[in-house]
Amino acid sequence: MTAYPHLLRPLELGHTTLRNRVLMGSMHTGLEETRDWNRVAEFYAARARGGVGLMVTGGMAPNKEGGVFPGAAGLFTPEDIANHRIVTDRVHAAEGKIAMQILHAGRYAYSPDCVGPSAVKSPISPFPPKELDEEGIEKQIADIATAAARAREAGYDGVEVMGSEGYFLNQFLVTHTNRREDRWGGSYENRMRLPVEVVRRVREAVGPDFIVIYRLSMIDLIPNGSSWEEVVQLAHAIEDAGASILNTGIGWHEARIPTIATSVPRKAFAWVTQKLMGEVSIPVITSNRINTPEVAEEVLAEGCADMVSMARPFLADADFVAKAAAGRSETIAPCIACNQACLDHTFSGKLSSCLVNPRACHETELTYAPAETPRKIAIVGAGPAGLSTALVAAERGHAVTLFDRADRIGGQLNMARMVPGKEEFHGLVDWYETMVAERGIELRLGTEVTPDTVAGYDAVVVATGVLPRDPAIPGQDAENVLSYIDVLRGGAEVGPRVAIVGAGGIGFDVAEYLAHQGESPTEDPELWQREWGVADPAEIRGGLAPEGPQPEASARQITLLQRKSEKLGKRLGKTTGWIHRASLQMKGVQMIGGVNYEAVTEEGLQISRGEARNDPETLAVDTVVLCAGQVPDRSLADALSDAGMPVHVIGGADVAAELDAKRAIDQGARLAATL
C-alpha cells in the first residue's frame, strides 16, 4: 500500500492514460539553445526513467516576434523537427510522455520585434510592443497552430499552450494591456476571443488524439487583473474549444508578489485552483511551491486538483516519482526553491542547473562512474562542500570518512535554516543526514582534525569553510557588538535598536531574522497572504488586496549598512533580491549605503559619509551586528601542506569571495567525480 494513493493513480485522458498524477512543469533551462540534442534528450529521458507522468518542455517560440528573446528556440525548420524527434524518441524509449510548450511572449519579449494587443510597454522589457492589426493577429494564431502541428510531427504527446504569467494570450484578457476597440478588445467575450481561438485552431491542427494543455492564469496578482467570473468563463470556453487539461498559472511576471520563491509557503496557491474544481469536466492541475510527495498527495487528497505540477523539484531529483513510489521519499533530494542555479541562471542567460543537484542539465557531462580503484578518502568539514564531495565519492564506491569539529552536519546551512523564510533548509540538512547514513559514510563529528588524524588516508579533502572577516572598526570588541554567528547560531541577546554592518546575503538574512517575531509567515499561509496583500480573486479582480500588504510590525528598529554607494541588495539573487528588499522595506528596515564605519561607542555606531568623512553622526543603537563578509579558513589546509601532505581544498576554504552553497556543492561534486 503506497503512502501516495492519489498521486500515483493513473489519469485517463480518453485517447491515452498518464501513469500518475505528476506533471513536470515547463522550465526554461537553456538546454535547447545549446543545440546539443543528445544532452537535451538525456535531460528529459532521465526524468522519464524516474517515473514522472507527463513532462512539459521549456517554452518554444511559435515565431520570431513571439520568442522570449531573439533567437529563442522553436520548431521552425525540418531540421528542428528532426532534432526534437531525438528527444521524444528517447523519452518514449524510457516509457515517458512529453508535451511541448508553445510560448508566445507578446510584450514580455526582450526584442524590438515584440507585438501585443496594444502598444502598452511592460515594466520588465525595454521594448514597447507593436499593436497587432487583424492580419497580424491571424498570423499569430496560424503560427501557434503550426507550431502545435509540428510538435506532433516531432513525436510529442501533446502541447501546452502558455496562456498565463502575463504572456501574449494573457495580455489580451485584461484591460490593463488590451485597449483595443475591435472584436479582439472591449467586452470580455472579445478579450478572450484570442486564447479561445488559439485553442480551437490548435485542436484542429493536431486532431483528437493529442494532449492539449492550456495554462490559465487563475490569479493575475496585478491591478485590474481578471475577475473570478472571467476565469471561470474562460475555463469553460477553453474546454469547449478542445483542451484536454487545464493547468494553473499564478501571477504575471510583473506582479510584485512572490509566487515561487522559498519564502512562499508550500502549496500557497492550491486554494485558487480548488475554486475551479467542479466547474469544468476536464482535469485541472495545480502548481506552485509543491516540492515533496507528501505535500503533493495532500493537495490531491484535499480535492484542490486532479493533478499536480512540479518543475524545479525535477531539477533537484530526476527520480522524484520512482523514489516516492518505492516508499523512499526521504531520499529525494529536496528543491529548496532558492532559484540560485535555475531561474537566476535563466535570467542571466546561463544554462540552468540545480544548487542541490549539480548534474541537472549536465547529465551527459558530469557523470558519477564507479571508481576503478576504491580509495580511503578523508573529508574535513561537513558543510555543503564537504557533504557534496562525500556523497558523490561514496556513491562511486570510495570509503569515505567525514569529519567536523561541530556536533552536527550542515555547516552554514544551519544558520540559513534559522532565518524566517528559509525553512526549506531544514529539509536539505535532513536529506544530507539521510544520505550520509544511506551511503555508509563514516561520520566523525566533534573532532578537531590535525595532520595526524588524516595520515593514512589515500586522499584528503579540506572543506573547512570560512571565518568572519574582521572589519576592524574601533571599539568593536565592546559588549554591544555581536557577530552574525552569535545571532544566528547562538541566539545571543539583541537589543531593540540594531545596526547591521554589511548588507550581503548574510546581512540581509540577519535583518530578516531580527525583524521577525512569532511564527514565520512561510509557515502560516494566511499570515503570508496578509503580509503580501493577496486576496481572493472572487472578491477582488486579480486577487490584490485593496488595502495592500499588511506586514506584522518589526520586532526591532533595524538599520542595514554598507560602504558601497550602490542600492543595497543589488548583488542578491537575480530573481529573489527584490523579495528580500521588499520584505525588509515592508518591515521599516532602514537601508543606508556609502558609509564609513568610524567607531562603536556606548551610544551606538558612529558613521560618516563619502571620502571626506566629514560630520560623523552616531546611529543610536543598542546592538551592532557584524556581517562584513568572510575569509577562507585555511588553517588545516596550511598545516597539511606544511606536513607535506597533498590536499584538495574546496568551498569557502578555497575561495570565500562570493561563496554560496551552489558553488560549494558544485565544486564538491565535480571534485568527487574525479577522485
Residues assigned a catalytic role: 167
Interaction between residue 354 and ligand SF4 (CB under 6 A): yes
Q: Which helix (H) or strand (E) holds 11?
A: strand 11-12
| Among ligand NAP, ligand SF4, none, residue 185 binds (CB under 5-8 Å by kind) | none
Is the Cβ of residue 129 or residue 505 nearer to ligand NAP in the bound state? Answer: 505
Asked whether the beta carbons of 611 and 425 are under 8 A apart, the reply is no
Segment interacting with ligand SF4, rule: CB under 6 A, options 103-111, 168-176, 272-280, 336-344: 336-344
- Tell me the per-residue interface mask from 509 to 538 with ligand NAP, x by CB under 6 A, - otherwise: x-----------------------------
Of 338, 413, 499, 607, the one binding ligand SF4 (CB under 6 A) is 338
Asked whether the beta carbons of 389 and 669 are under 8 A apart, the reply is yes
The Cα–Cα gap between 141 and 201 comes to 7
What is the smallest separation between the CB atom of 310 and ligand SF4, expressed in angstroms? 10
- 3-class secondary structure, 310: strand
Segment interacting with ligand SF4, rule: CB under 6 A, options 195-203, 323-331, 349-357, 579-587: 349-357
| Among ligand NAP, ligand SF4, none, residue 315 binds (CB under 5-8 Å by kind) | ligand SF4
Of 250, 264, 290, 659, the one binding ligand NAP (CB under 6 A) is 659
Is the Cβ of residue 536 or residue 660 nearer to ligand NAP in the bound state? Answer: 660
Interaction between residue 482 and ligand NAP (CB under 6 A): no
Interaction between residue 507 and ligand NAP (CB under 6 A): yes
What does the DSSP 8-state code read for residue 498?
Answer: E
Interaction between residue 328 and ligand NAP (CB under 6 A): no
The Cα–Cα gap between 262 and 266 comes to 9
| Among ligand NAP, ligand SF4, none, residue 333 binds (CB under 5-8 Å by kind) | none
The Cα–Cα gap between 294 and 330 comes to 10
Name the E strands within 565-656. 590-592, 595-600, 604-609, 614-620, 623-626, 630-632, 648-649
Cα Rg of the chain (Å, integer): 26
- 3-class secondary structure, 340: coil
Of 502, 549, 604, 632, the one binding ligand NAP (CB under 6 A) is 502
Q: 607 forms bridges with which residues in the sheet?
A: 597, 617
Segment interacting with ligand NAP, rule: CB under 6 A, options 220-228, 300-308, 441-449, 652-660: 652-660
Q: Which helix (H) or strand (E) holds 390?
A: helix 384-395
What does the DSSP 8-state code read for residue 35?
Answer: T
Is the Cβ of residue 47 or residue 289 nearer to ligand NAP in the bound state? Answer: 289
Restricting to residues 447-476, name those near ligand NAP by CB under 6 A: 469, 471
Asked whether the beta carbons of 433 and 417 are under 8 A apart, the reply is no
Asked whether the beta carbons of 337 and 289 are under 8 A apart, the reply is yes
What is the smallest separation between the CB atom of 425 and ligand SF4, expressed in angstroms? 10
Is the Cβ of residue 289 or residue 634 nearer to ligand SF4 in the bound state? Answer: 289
Of 270, 276, 299, 336, the one binding ligand SF4 (CB under 6 A) is 336
What is the smallest separation between the CB atom of 620 and ligand NAP, expressed in angstroms? 20
Of 114, 159, 356, 561, the one binding ligand SF4 (CB under 6 A) is 356
Interaction between residue 310 and ligand SF4 (CB under 6 A): no
Cβ-count burial of 366 within 10 angstroms (0-12 exposed, 13-18 middle, 19+ buried)? middle
Is the Cβ of residue 498 or residue 501 nearer to ligand NAP in the bound state? Answer: 501
The Cα–Cα gap between 645 and 643 comes to 6
- 3-class secondary structure, 331: helix
- 3-class secondary structure, 468: strand
Q: How many residues does the chain have?
A: 675
Nearest 10 degrees: CA dihedral of 54, 57, 63, 65?
120
What is the smallest separation between the CB atom of 278 and ligand NAP, expressed in angstroms? 40
| Among ligand SF4, ligand NAP, none, residue 231 binds (CB under 5-8 Å by kind) | none
Of 486, 536, 622, 660, the one binding ligand NAP (CB under 6 A) is 660
Interaction between residue 573 and ligand NAP (CB under 6 A): yes
The pair phi, psi for residue 17, each rounded to 5°, is -130, 135
Interaction between residue 341 and ligand SF4 (CB under 6 A): yes
Segment interacting with ligand SF4, rule: CB under 6 A, options 33-41, 81-89, 294-302, 338-346: 338-346
Is the Cβ of residue 186 or residue 471 nearer to ligand NAP in the bound state? Answer: 471
Side-chain-side CA neighbours of 482 within 13 Å: the count stands at 23
C-alpha cell at 322: 520512482
Size of residue set near ligand NAP by CB under 6 A: 22
| Among ligand SF4, ligand NAP, none, residue 162 binds (CB under 5-8 Å by kind) | none
Interaction between residue 632 and ligand NAP (CB under 6 A): no
Interaction between residue 394 and ligand SF4 (CB under 6 A): no
Is the Cβ of residue 335 or residue 600 nearer to ligand SF4 in the bound state? Answer: 335
Helix, strand, coil percentages in the chain from 3-state DSSP, rounded to 5? 30, 15, 50
Residue nearest ligand NAP by beta-carbon distance? 504
Nearest CA to 402 among 379, 384, 435, 431? 379
Interaction between residue 501 and ligand NAP (CB under 6 A): yes
Asked whether the beta carbons of 97 and 90 are under 8 A apart, the reply is no
| Cα end-to-end span (Å), the chain | 41
Asked whether the beta carbons of 347 and 302 are under 8 A apart, the reply is no
Interaction between residue 576 and ligand SF4 (CB under 6 A): no
Of 137, 162, 264, 315, the one binding ligand SF4 (CB under 6 A) is 315
Is the Cβ of residue 111 or residue 263 nearer to ligand NAP in the bound state? Answer: 263
Residue whose C-alpha cell reads 554592518 in the numeric block: 501
Of 145, 169, 272, 355, the one binding ligand SF4 (CB under 6 A) is 355
Q: How many CB atoms lie within 10 A of CB 135?
A: 7
Interaction between residue 339 and ligand SF4 (CB under 6 A): yes
- Given the rule CB under 6 A, which residues bind ligand NAP? 469, 471, 501-507, 509, 562-564, 572-573, 627-630, 658-660
- Given the rule CB under 6 A, which residues bind ligand SF4? 312, 315-316, 335-342, 354-356
